[in-house]
Amino acid sequence: MHIGILGSGMVAQAIGQKLTELGHTVKLGTRDPRKLDEWLGKVGGGASVGRFADAAAFGELLFNCTSGIGSLEALTSAGAENLAGKVLIDVANALDFSRGMPPTLTVCNTDSLGEQIQRAFPDAKVVKTLNTVNAYLMVNPSLVPGDHDMFVCGNDAEAKATVTDILKGWFGWRSVIDLGDISGARGVEMLLPLWVRLYGVFQSPMFNFKVVR
C-alpha cells in the first residue's frame, strides 16, 4: 500500500520505518525534506520524502504525525483535495510548550484537535488513535509487557474498522477500545497531562494504560 505520513519527527519516523519493514511504500511530508536525508539512508528504498501535499497525494492511507499545535496548518498545506475520501489516522497531541514544562493543552474539555481536524476537512475520515503512547510503543506494544490498551474514535465506522485492523495486524495491538465518534478524542487527548506526569515519575516513556473491568 502507498501510505502518506505528514510529519518528520520521532513519531513519523518510527511509523514510517515500521511500515516499510512491513513492505509498504511510504512518503513523509515535511516543510524541509532535506532534514530527513539521514533517516532515508537508514530506511532504504521503501521510503521517500516530499512536501505535505506530496505525501498526502501519494498516500492511499494517511497519518497525521505533525506537532499538534501546527497540525491544521500542515493539513491545509497538504490540500483538502488530497485528504478527501481517505482514512486519516490522527496521532497528534495539541501540546503547547511555549511556557516550558509541563506543557498545556491548546484545546480541551469541549473540543479536541481530532474534532478540529474533522471539521476543517469534512471529506476526510479522521480516526484518532496512538496518541497516548511513546512512538516506539505505537508500532511495537510488546515493549511494555502484559496486556494494555489502545483507543480509537472517529465518525466513520468503516474507517475505524480499518484502523483497528491496522493496529492489530500491522503493529501488534491486542486490545483496541472503540470510544465512539470523534468527540472521544477529547478524552484521549486530555490523558496527555497525566502521561507527562507519569513520564516524570518513571523517568521513562515505556508505559501504557490498561482499563480493568
**Residue 213, domain member (yes or no):** no
Q: How confident is the model at residue 204 (pLDDT cuts 50, 70, 90)?
A: very high
63 and 8 Cβ atoms separated by less than 8 Å: no
21 part of a folded domain: yes
Element (H, E) at 12: helix 10-21
Nearest to 68 by CA among 92, 101, 102: 92
Q: Is residue 128 a part of any domain in this protein? A: yes
Question: Does 98 map to a domain?
Answer: yes
**Banded pLDDT at 99 (limits 50, 70, 90):** confident
Residue 19 scores a pLDDT above 90:
yes
pLDDT of residue 45 exceeding 90, the answer is no
pLDDT of residue 34: 84
Q: What's the pLDDT score for residue 98?
A: 79
Q: Which amino acid, 78?
A: A
Looking at the structure of the chain, the number of domains it has is: 1
Q: What is the reported pTM?
A: 0.96
If you search the block for the grid coordinates 513520564, which residue do you land on?
199
**Adjacent-strand bridge partners of 105:** 95
* pLDDT (0 to 100) of residue 164: 98
Start-end of H helices in 52-101: 52-58, 71-78, 80-83
Return the SS3 of 208: coil
Please check the confidence at residue 97 and state whether its pLDDT lies above 90. no
Residue 211 domain-assigned (yes or no) = no
> Could you tell me the CATH number of the domain that includes residue 116?
3.40.50.720
pLDDT of residue 211: 97
The tens digit of pLDDT for each residue in 164-199 reads 999 999 999 999 999 999 999 999 999 999 999 999
**Helix or strand holding residue 118 (H, E):** helix 113-120
In a domain, 207, yes or no: no
| pLDDT at residue 122 tops 90 | yes
Domain of 134 in residue numbering reads as 2-202
Q: Is residue 87 part of a domain?
A: yes
Q: What's the CA gap between 130 and 93, in Å, rounded?
A: 10
Give per-residue burial for 3-31: e unless 16+ CB within 10 Å, then b: bbbbbbeebbbbbbbbbbeeebbbbbbbe
In a domain, 209, yes or no: no
